[in-house]
A = this chain, B = another copy of it.
Amino acid sequence: MAAADGMQVYPSFHWPVRVYYEDTDAGGVVYHSNYLKFMERARTERIRSVGFELDELVRDHGILFVVRSMAIDFKKPAHFNESLSVSADFKDLRPASIVFHQVVTRGGSEILAEAEVKVASVNASTFRPMGVPECLLERLTAAPKAVGLG
């Protein structure tokens, strides 16, 4: 869709996640560390959506992405069998790393968890920092293709 000033406005990237028993705990809700799995799935799919496969980046370029740090708020519990949606938006570029802003939502707008995740680009053998590939950066910082629950 076109905004008033002619700028393209794109819907954000979202990846659908269904809550299975494997994701829950005896408190009856999604176990907190599993939101990190959901968020990594969304980052992986976000990167795939702009044309890159993580296994090819390792095999062909020796580049591995590792989570360096994250700050996460667990706002509301998710329950078994619910349909969630996870975003993975480019937020910032740091030396040899990318910062993603990610939100887990239910029903389109209810925020259950929100995080900033710093992902470093490292050499797959030595785990030393490597520059993030330019072409990946260009596509990630461009408008996302809407997929999933979008």
> Which residues of A approach B to under 8 Å, CB–CB?
18, 20-22, 24-29, 31-34, 36-37, 40-41, 44, 53-55, 64, 66-74, 77, 79-81, 124, 127
Known: A53-B81, A54-B80. A37 touches B26 (CB 8 A): no
Once A69-B72, A69-B74 are accepted as A-B contacts, the answer to whether A27 and B37 lie under 8 Å apart by CB is: no
Name which residue of chain B comes closest to A113, CB basis.
B69
Chain A contact residues, majority secondary structure: mixed
Q: Which of B34, B54, B79 is close to A55, meaning CB atoms less than 8 Å apart?
A: B79
CA distance A24 to B70 in the complex (A): 19
B-chain residues with CB within 8 Å of residue A81 when the two chains form the complex:
44, 53-55
Query: Could you give 16 example pairs across A and B, Cβ below 8 Å?
Result: A20-B40, A21-B40, A21-B44, A22-B25, A25-B26, A26-B29, A26-B79, A26-B80, A32-B66, A33-B33, A33-B40, A54-B80, A66-B74, A67-B74, A69-B74, A71-B72
**Complex Cα–Cα for A33 and B38 (A):** 10
Q: Which residues of B contact A79 (CB under 8 A)?
A: 26, 55
B residues in contact with A18, CB < 8 Å: 41
User: A117 — nearest CB in chain B belongs to which residue?
Assistant: B32
Question: A32-B40, A33-B36 provided; 11 other pairs, C-beta below 8 A?
Answer: A21-B40, A22-B37, A25-B25, A27-B64, A33-B33, A33-B37, A36-B36, A44-B81, A54-B80, A55-B79, A66-B77
CB nearest neighbor in B for A20: B41
